[in-house]
Chain A
């Protein structure tokens, strides 16, 4: 459904290309993982897909095709038709990604206001439905709250709701859980899996965290210095990494895990309690049954 062919992005104020010729496909209904160290060009790739590149500050070439439509070179007006409607984006830090002065529900419903001719009541009903879908409790009253009144996890759920309210075909997730604590992170991952399964939304999931990607994504691409150095089925790559950089990434995990395994039992118990407490406090519906299991392997490669 999405095909990137030989994408190059060069910022005018940089020597090195931020993206130095990558090709990538996201298939219908899959979650593709994109991992790599800081500055490797993951966000720039996502921004190119979303049409959010600062076009005046960079040179770009290649093709990005979504169901045959060119996204990279499209006119602004045409891009706006795609924004929100066919492509939803969720950013890393939900607090700053939300407009502090707009009600949460209105932000969720904003895509509908732009792309549909629903009236206010219909938009509200749809927004509340989406907020319920991302397992926000009492969405009806949350609708009229402001972002600062929500916890980080709830904010990110609301951001996901706002990205999927119109049922886009592609969801771009740029480190959506990095700013959240571990238990909330696990819940959000469960939620993404559910949305992928039940709403048939394809996703590009960007992360630093190989373990998270392993759990969520059937396929993964590894980026280094603007290039994709390895791409394929996640399990295969985990078992037999080809590229030295990938090997290095994967080797970085077990050492941490083994160190953790010593305290594993106690931690898992604690985490389970924390999950329950957080759930109660945060008002998320009990979905993340695997949360405590996930916490055990929260190790990253950062």
Chain B
């Protein structure tokens, strides 16, 4: 259990470093926020007043710590282009993207785990070729392409949702909103499913050839027993690691799909904010996305420590 605490500690340290680097980098490139907010014709007194108001007259480290605390208090400064607090701008977008990512993740897990196991057990002959073909195909279709097809087919033709018109998760039409997200989530999921199936197939086949399997057979286990009692658990660690990586990458992958489906998530906000040079927003989003990646990795390590006793060694017992 000590090693779990160690891992969580490492996670926090990583987040601190990431956030500090992001803050420092944006402080360097973003120039004078007071000037940006007030425009070039502002009087020096007005600028001074604004700087004080934004806390820019305080030392750098103090400003950094205040900003970092803002992730918990919701005070992350003011957006240059929307003139509203960064937090009120990004919070609903995070909700939408997170919701889409979770749907996508559930779809990936629900399909690729059984499919991967099946593909491992039928890896010879025609069914092996078939699964290899499907995997290649799935990995080859980019989400923006399936996105265009799906918005046309399911959106415009079948009218299951209206591309570009996202009703909002808390509106009366929340069900439509969820359907909208679901189709986008499936487009993100397809190549990931193919990758996960491929990973799982080779992992399970690899485990099947390990010598503990021979031992298990020599004790009288049937195929099911060998698989359920031994191979499955041993295949779990690489799978958890892979899925955590997938979870982290889905959020990045949502940027394009949000554009195609007209979903107001952080992906779209990020693209807009970058072109507007809206640094407070970009800064917050970059750090949140980095936190997400670190968090997924930490979760994977903690789960794997529970599965594999050898991974608990690091913490000492």
A17 touches B (CB below 8 Å): no
Smallest CB separation, A158 vs chain B (Å): 11
Q: Is the CB of A91 within 8 A of B215?
A: yes
Name B218's contact: one of A52, A77, A81, A96 (CB within 8 Å).
A52
Residues of A within 8 A of B307 (CB): 101
Q: Is the CB of A80 within 8 A of B211?
A: no
Q: Is the CB of A96 within 8 A of B210?
A: yes
Residues of B within 8 A of A102 (CB): 229-230, 233
- Could you tell me the distance between the alpha carbons of A162 and B225 in the complex, rounded to whole angstroms? 17
Known: A83-B218, A83-B219. 20 other contacts (CB 8 A): A50-B218, A52-B214, A77-B222, A84-B218, A84-B219, A85-B220, A87-B218, A88-B218, A89-B215, A91-B211, A96-B212, A97-B212, A97-B214, A100-B234, A100-B310, A102-B230, A111-B219, A114-B219, A146-B309, A148-B310
Q: Is the CB of B220 within 8 A of A81?
A: yes
Residues of A within 8 A of B310 (CB): 100, 146, 148
5 tightest A-B CB contacts, nearest first: A83-B220, A84-B220, A84-B219, A89-B218, A99-B212
Interface residues of B, CB < 8 Å — how many?
A: 21
Q: Is the CB of B221 within 8 A of A148?
A: no
Interface residues of A, CB < 8 Å — how many?
A: 31
Q: Is the CB of B220 within 8 A of A96?
A: no
A-B contacts, 21 of them at CB < 8 A, read A52-B217, A76-B222, A80-B221, A83-B220, A83-B221, A85-B220, A87-B218, A91-B215, A98-B212, A99-B212, A99-B216, A99-B234, A100-B212, A100-B308, A101-B307, A101-B309, A110-B219, A114-B220, A114-B225, A146-B309, A162-B219
Output the nearest chain A residue to B236 by Cβ-Cβ distance: A101
Output the nearest chain B residue to A97 by Cβ-Cβ distance: B215
Q: Is the CB of A93 within 8 A of B225?
A: no
Q: Is the CB of B220 within 8 A of A115?
A: yes
Give B221-241 interface residues, CB cut-off 8 Å to A: 221-222, 225, 229-230, 233-234
Q: Which residues of A contact B (CB under 8 A)?
A: 50, 52, 76-77, 80-85, 87-89, 91, 93, 96-102, 110-111, 114-115, 146, 148-149, 159, 162
- Could you tell me the distance between the alpha carbons of A101 and B304 in the complex, rounded to whole angstroms? 11
Most buried by B among A77, A81, A84, A87: A84
Residues of A within 8 A of B220 (CB): 80-85, 111, 114-115
